[in-house]
Amino acid sequence: MSKTTFYLLTDTHYVSPQIWVEGDPINGRERGDQIALKATPQILDAFFEKILADDEADTVIFTGDNVNSGDLASHEEFRERLTRLTDAGKKVFVISATHDYCGAGDDENTFGACRYTETGTEPVPFMRKAGLFDFYRDFGPKQAISVHRESRSYVVQLCGGVRLVMIDDNGNGRSHCGLFADGMAWLKDELRKAKDDGDFVLLATHHPVLPPWDVFRHVADYELYGGYRELMALMCEENVRVVFTGHTHVQNIRKFTDDAGRSLYDVSTIAIANAAGKMRRVTVDTEAATCDIQSIGIETLPGETESSFEQLYYLNFPGIVEKMLPLGATDFDAFLLLADWMVPKEKLQKHRRLIPFACRKLQKLSVSTVAKLGGSWKTLCPAQRTAAKQERVTDVLFGVLRHIYTGNAPFPPDTVENVVVSALAARADRLVRRFRIEAVQKLIPPGSSLCEMAQDFLYNTRTGDDDAICISLQD
């Protein structure tokens, strides 16, 4: 019987300092990608410091989007950094995803490797998908007990009794990111072999098998693991309880149970380059038959005193909106500078009077006003009414937005905020139905409603905690 502890990092989106200089092009790209691209080397270093200080953990795995745009300089620096881990005695296993290579024209991968100059971009040498296997051969394939060469997937023995299948992001770029038929046949064979040997199996791949919210599957099914239904059925059939994923940059742990009562967990991890980025620390205990998962972030970047969250938060969409709102009310020109990445300045200029007015009104709007609007005011007790009068709508809005990426949203059903928003959403549902507002109707998954969808964003409707769980590998 044995135990193994490993770290999992995903969506590192490493960007070499060689491929950018300060200016609008790199800053625009950073805002568009919603992650701290320029700080990725320091962020990765800070995470590595924590890993290197942990003697219990002997393995580190990376589940793709290791670099941001497939350029060779970033790949070389990223790989160089991996050797810090291997030099310290850690085993390192890597798989790749769509950001790690540039398409050859015969797929749907449109990433272009470039250097960001002060005024634009210029092309730089890049990685093709076919080159990834050899480039990262020392970080997985070399230690593997089985390799599926066509998809670059492989199996490693984490310790006696535990195997990890690293399923690479095969497929044709974006619309199918998963194994094809021969890859699935290989996977089935590997699961059978593990079963014959009495080993537990964990899976890791880039694209999620379960979406963070149902609306995600409804509007962006193609962003999930290609062939996720087949993979889920196989996992249930073979009692593979856990798949580790990334890609959405949303911290979440979801459970799926099939009609026969068999279940699996998708443990999807936030990008480390998010302001509140985290890695997973996973311990598998074969005697207890458990997979214990914790999450660890960084407090500060190397050489900095301000918290990394404070430094990086305003790159994320919620942070930008949080910053924009007061500017919209008081300093329209500064507001324009920030808002330009979402709506062109020229369009916003036309509303020079309306926008400051609307921002001031929104800042003052209390939750009690929305409660009256949504029809929930009468259902609130005196203490809840007092709280609703004191709380601003923007507090609730930013409370929700701040948890989009980080998970664990703070408004469960017994809170004033949940009662008020749910009633408002229910009223909106009735209006959408009555006036047949198709633009909204097509966003709502079959059998769901705005009210039900809102719950996914108000509190943790998943497994209760997006940061930690202990999963039984046996039942």
Distance of closest approach, residue 65 Cβ to Fe ion, in angstroms? 4
* Spatial contact of 224 and 212, defined as CB atoms under 8 Å apart: no
Closest CA to 274 of 250, 292, 295: 250
Closest CA to 8 of 92, 75, 134: 92
DSSP string, 91-124: EEEEE--GGGS---SSSS-----EEE-SSSEEE-
* Spatial contact of 458 and 416, defined as CB atoms under 8 Å apart: no
Angle at 431 between CA 380 and CA 379, to 5 degrees: 10
Q: For Fe ion, which is the closer residue by CB, 111 or 459? A: 111
Distance of closest approach, residue 181 Cβ to Fe ion, in angstroms? 23
Question: Based on C-alpha coordinates, what's the Rg of the chain?
Answer: 24
Q: For Fe ion, which is the closer residue by CB, 31 or 241? A: 31
Task: Report helix, strand or coil for 139.
Answer: coil
| φ, ψ dihedrals at 4, nearest 5° | -140, 145
Q: For Fe ion, which is the closer residue by CB, 241 or 254? A: 254
Strands (E), 182-231: 200-205
Q: For Fe ion, which is the closer residue by CB, 64 or 297? A: 64
Distance of closest approach, residue 99 Cβ to Fe ion, in angstroms? 6
Strands (E), 112-220: 114-116, 121-123, 146-148, 153-159, 162-167, 200-205
* Spatial contact of 253 and 8, defined as CB atoms under 8 Å apart: no
Distance of closest approach, residue 87 Cβ to Fe ion, in angstroms? 27
Pairing assessment for the beta strands 146-148 and 242-245 based on DSSP bridges: unpaired
Q: For Fe ion, which is the closer residue by CB, 46 or 97? A: 97
d(CA 49, CA 300): 12
Distance of closest approach, residue 205 Cβ to Fe ion, in angstroms? 11
Distance of closest approach, residue 74 Cβ to Fe ion, in angstroms? 14
Q: For Fe ion, which is the closer residue by CB, 274 or 368? A: 274
C-beta neighbour count of 18 within 10 angstroms: 14
Pairing assessment for the beta strands 91-95 and 290-297 based on DSSP bridges: unpaired
Distance of closest approach, residue 97 Cβ to Fe ion, in angstroms? 5
Distance of closest approach, residue 271 Cβ to Fe ion, in angstroms? 6
Start-to-end CA span in the chain (Å): 18
d(CA 348, CA 339): 9
d(CA 32, CA 262): 40
Q: For Fe ion, which is the closer residue by CB, 65 or 456? A: 65
* Spatial contact of 79 and 96, defined as CB atoms under 8 Å apart: no
Distance of closest approach, residue 207 Cβ to Fe ion, in angstroms? 7
Q: For Fe ion, which is the closer residue by CB, 79 or 99? A: 99
* Spatial contact of 284 and 4, defined as CB atoms under 8 Å apart: yes
Q: For Fe ion, which is the closer residue by CB, 247 or 254? A: 247
Distance of closest approach, residue 448 Cβ to Fe ion, in angstroms? 26
Residue 53: burial class (beta carbons within 10 Å; 0-12, 13-18, 19+): exposed
Residue linked to tokens 């964003």: 457
Q: For Fe ion, which is the closer residue by CB, 78 or 377? A: 78
Distance of closest approach, residue 197 Cβ to Fe ion, in angstroms? 33
Six token digits for residue 121? 């971009």
Q: For Fe ion, which is the closer residue by CB, 250 or 327? A: 250
Q: For Fe ion, which is the closer residue by CB, 65 or 71? A: 65
Distance of closest approach, residue 165 Cβ to Fe ion, in angstroms? 19
Residues that bind Fe ion (CB under 5 A): 11, 65, 97, 247
